Amino acid sequence: MKLPFNLERHTATSKVAVIAFLVLVLLIPVSMIKNIILDRSQIESVATRDIRNLWGGDQTIAGPILRLPYEVLKTTVYGSPYSESKHAYLLAEKLHIVATVDTEIRYRGIHEVPVFAATIDMVGNFDLSLLDTLGIGRDDVNWSGAVVLLGVSDATAIKTTPILEMAGTSSKFKTGVAQIAGLPPQLGADIGDRMIDAATKADLPIRISVAVNGSGTLKFLPLANSAEVRMSTNWASPGFVGRQLPAERNIRETGFDATWLVSGLSRNLPAIWTDADKTKTTAVENAFGVRLIQPVGLYQLMTRAIKYAVLFVGLTFVIYFLMEIVSNLRLHPLQYLLVGLANALFYLLLLSLAEHVGFGPAYIVSASASAALITGYSVTILTSRRRAMVLAAALFGLYVFLYLTLKAQNYALVAGSTGLWFVLAAVMYLTRKINWYATDD
């Protein structure tokens, strides 16, 4: 049988074709490792969801809102008078919120999730003179039915019953109150027993204390004409979310402090409204706060790292091929395949170790083990310790390059493309004087 080309005459060309084929073959184990990373990432997501369900999820604190029942006198078509019950809703005039947030790590198996416990103090006041703007007489208000509403998106994660302090006494918030649509679920505190003399007052000061657990984000929707929100926490990687960024922030290695200044113009709610207004609020869209951001996660790092697998395999093969050309060696495709599998195994070893000891230590161990395996094997197949050391130095450079690229979160693409440019430039420089036609003879 006559071959389509002479293997002896086209040694370099045929070897390049074989190497390219082996690189494609090695994509199979690389893809299998990618699937393992994806599976482990999904398991982590399940663990995170379980912890969030038990501890508390994203939290949004909204309010406060004062709800006042009042009577409207009307007349039937027959001229008989009757009264109709309605409600007026007042937002705070001024509001000052101080949130102290303590974070910790919770574990589910080998997976960890940051959670927080927030202690929140709210001090503010309601301007009762706003009732006059709607034509509601003080005598028409049923002060005994007054309720202060506070929105908490995940009330099941409240550690202790929230307390409202007013006129030297306190009331506990409770569930089961009528809700205002478009806001987080609300708790209610009855204050009717302290509103007897409210008809003669223009201002109603209050203080609210609430402690909640949560994870992910902690946001605020201060419903007031003017508000200030101060937050301090021991988490050093904040991600500010929502429609408003803090006016001041101080990020330290041990945590951060942030202050938001809020105007009533951004709340999408009037200062006072009634049932008859049919207000459909979208104010919750204006909530703002902080997300607890973890540095690049393990599985995200692994996904990034394995994208360079073809580069590792290809460059290692290029080094072997150049040594064949320069030193007149003959390496078998199976030897290339074994070296390629050692490169692929690096990623599986890195994943399995990093889940237990962290990415940094696992990377050092995995890279050392893979480089030692390939170098030790190369001493024999390259028939020279010096050539094997050249290969080891190249592998060391590749592993250092990959690690620095993975850690450069904001400059990963720049680092990766620049590194590839230098690698290609080095290969082109080293092979610039090779007569490829001569190697085929």
CATH number for the domain that contains residue 122: 2.60.40
Residues 204 and 259 in one domain: yes
| Mean pLDDT value across residues 240-257 | 86
Beta bridge mates, 114: 105
| pLDDT classification of 5: cutoffs 50, 70, 90 | very low
Beta bridge mates, 187: 150
Kindly tell me the burial class for residue 357, based on how many C-beta atoms sit within 10 Å of its own C-beta (0-12, 13-18, 19 or more).
Answer: exposed
What DSSP element (H or E) covers 99?
strand 81-108
Looking at 249, 277, 292, which one is the last position of a domain? 292
pLDDT in tens, 270-317: 888 887 555 556 677 788 888 887 766 778 888 888 888 888 888 888
Kindly tell me the burial class for residue 374, based on how many C-beta atoms sit within 10 Å of its own C-beta (0-12, 13-18, 19 or more).
Answer: buried
Asked whether the predicted pLDDT for residue 260 surpasses 80, the reply is: yes
Residues 418 and 304 in one domain: yes
Residue 240 lies in a domain: yes
Residues 260 and 351 in one domain: no
Asked whether the predicted pLDDT for residue 162 surpasses 50, the reply is: yes
Residue 3 lies in a domain: no
| pLDDT classification of 98: cutoffs 50, 70, 90 | very high
Here the tokens at position 255 are: 């945590």
| pLDDT classification of 80: cutoffs 50, 70, 90 | low
Beta bridge mates, 112: 107
Residue 156 lies in a domain: yes
Residue 51 lies in a domain: no
Between strands 111-127 and 81-108, the pairing is: antiparallel
Residue 4 lies in a domain: no
Residues 307 and 384 in one domain: yes
pLDDT in tens, 40-52: 888 878 888 888 8
Phi, psi of 185 (to 5 degrees): -50, 135
| pLDDT classification of 437: cutoffs 50, 70, 90 | low
* 28 or 80, which is more confident: 28
Q: Give the chain's mean pLDDT.
A: 81
Q: pTM of the full predicted structure?
A: 0.72
Asked whether the predicted pLDDT for residue 8 surpasses 50, the reply is: no
Phi, psi of 26 (to 5 degrees): -70, -10
CA distance 226 to 52: 33
Kindly tell me the burial class for residue 428, based on how many C-beta atoms sit within 10 Å of its own C-beta (0-12, 13-18, 19 or more).
Answer: exposed
Residue 100 lies in a domain: yes
Q: For the chain, how many structural domains are there in total?
A: 2
Q: What is the pLDDT of residue 6?
A: 43
Q: What is the pLDDT of residue 259?
A: 92
Residues 168 and 251 in one domain: yes
CA distance 321 to 332: 11
| pLDDT classification of 434: cutoffs 50, 70, 90 | low
pLDDT in tens, 323-334: 877 777 788 888
Residues 417 and 340 in one domain: yes
Q: What is the pLDDT of residue 229?
A: 92
Residue 2 lies in a domain: no
CA distance 52 to 305: 29
Domain membership of residue 176 as a residue range: 57-292
Q: What is the pLDDT of residue 121?
A: 94
Residues 320 and 248 in one domain: no
Looking at 248, 274, 292, which one is the last position of a domain? 292
Packing angle, helices 385-407 and 359-381, rounded to 10: 160
CA distance 351 to 319: 26
Residues 136 and 24 in one domain: no
The count of other CB atoms within 10 Å of the CB of residue 413 is 10
What DSSP element (H or E) covers 207?
strand 203-215
* 123 or 196, which is more confident: 123
Phi, psi of 56 (to 5 degrees): 140, 145
| Mean pLDDT value across residues 404-431 | 69
Phi, psi of 169 (to 5 degrees): -125, 170
Residues 103 and 217 in one domain: yes
Percent of the chain at pLDDT > 90 equals: 9
Residues 106 and 255 in one domain: yes
* 421 or 164, which is more confident: 164
| Mean pLDDT value across residues 15-44 | 85
Q: What is the pLDDT of residue 122?
A: 93
DSSP 78: T
| Mean pLDDT value across residues 79-83 | 66
Residue 174 lies in a domain: yes
Residues 276 and 325 in one domain: no
187: nearest Cα among 144, 166, 158, 221: 158
Looking at 258, 292, 326, which one is the last position of a domain? 292
Between strands 147-152 and 59-75, the pairing is: antiparallel
Q: Before 64, cis peptide (omega within 30)?
A: yes
Residues 282 and 329 in one domain: no
Here the tokens at position 206 are: 């209050």
Asked whether the predicted pLDDT for residue 394 surpasses 50, the reply is: yes
